């Protein structure tokens, strides 16, 4: 099956999933569906490890703020369900999943980074942050579970309630990234790490990851199975379109 905006590549035992929806790999319903389908397809190929990466200057800018705030209630509900399912699958990936975080990772893109087992980020001017509050869009249950499991409480508070972006060094200090490389070296280094993790006995790796993340994974699976996300009926606030437009304008002006 061909995927328009997610490329699947193979480098020996390492599969590579590359988001490619210019200009910013912003996530809307189509890309969310593709990401889930591409992840499933990549796993069926039997890799010993996977790398998740983006394109050019963007890993992912998160939700498409031009499209998503204007969605109908039915579209919002579907997107919410796909996002929770996709985040849950990435976080529970049965093989090592390495983030080749090539550039900006904002909002939903930031959460995608946190689903990976090891995160290689870029030196330079890339931005990281959770801007949902400023866009008028609360967190779905799956992303919030991952966020609270992966970052220290003080960093969860800082990133969610201040809703500001910061650079790679601060991202590393806050536990979002594990190491920094020159931008051109991010993907090669991520593949190198993935090869190393692929050498670990597969069953042991899978079982230890389940020990580490089992409670969080179970919480996401419960939400997905029950369709019980607390945001289900009122995910996007009434003023989200205005807030999102202001945030986009600020980005253009900045």
Residues lower than pLDDT 50 in the chain: none
pLDDT at residue 74, as a whole number: 87
pLDDT value of position 53: 98
Q: Shortest CA distance to 236 belongs to which of 76, 33, 29?
A: 76
- How much is the pLDDT for 252? 53
Q: Name the one residue in this structure whose structure tokens are 């606030």.
A: 237
* Helix or strand (DSSP H, E) at 82: helix 73-91
E strand spans, the chain: 6-11, 14-19, 49-53, 58-60, 97-100, 104-106, 118-122, 128-129, 179-181
Cα(first)–Cα(last) distance of the chain, in Å?
39
Classify domain 6-198 at the CATH topology level.
2-enoyl-CoA Hydratase; Chain A, domain 1 (3.90.226)
Write out pLDDT tens, residues 120-167: 999 999 999 999 888 888 899 999 999 999 999 999 999 999 999 999
pLDDT for 65 equals: 87
Strand pairing of 128-129 and 104-106?
A: parallel
Strand order in the sheet with 104-106: 58-60, 104-106, 128-129
**For the chain, domain boundaries:** 6-198
Give residue 100's pLDDT. Answer: 98
pLDDT digits (tens, 9 = 90+) for 83-99: 999 999 999 999 999 99
Strand partners, 55: 58
């Amino acid at each position: 099956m061909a995927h328009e905006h997610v490329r699947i590549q193979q480098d020996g035992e390492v599969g590579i999933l590359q988001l490619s929806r210019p200009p910013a790999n912003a996530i809307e319903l189509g890309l969310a569906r593709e990401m889930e389908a591409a992840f499933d397809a990549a796993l069926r190929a039997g890799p010993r490890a996977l790398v998740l990466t983006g394109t050019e200057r963007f890993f992912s800018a998160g939700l498409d703020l031009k499209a998503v705030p204007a969605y109908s209630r039915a579209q919002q509900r579907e997107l919410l369900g796909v996002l929770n399912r996709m985040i849950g699958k990435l976080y529970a990936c049965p093989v090592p999943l390495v983030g080749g975080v090539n550039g900006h990772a904002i909002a939903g893109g930031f959460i995608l980074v946190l689903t990976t087992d090891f995160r290689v980020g870029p030196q330079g001017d890339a931005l990281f942050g959770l801007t949902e509050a400023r866009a008028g869009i609360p967190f779905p249950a799956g992303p919030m579970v991952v966020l609270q499991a992966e970052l220290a409480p003080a960093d969860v508070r800082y990133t969610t309630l201040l809703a500001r972006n910061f650079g790679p060094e601060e991202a590393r200090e806050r536990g979002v990234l594990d190491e920094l490389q020159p931008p051109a070296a991010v993907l090669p280094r991520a593949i190198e790490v993935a090869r190393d993790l692929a050498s670990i006995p597969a069953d042991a790796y899978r079982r230890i990851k389940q020990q580490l993340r089992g409670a969080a994974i179970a919480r996401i699976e419960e939400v997905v199975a029950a369709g019980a996300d607390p945001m289900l009926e009122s995910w996007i606030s009434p003023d989200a379109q205005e807030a999102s437009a202001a945030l986009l304008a600020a980005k253009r002006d900045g």
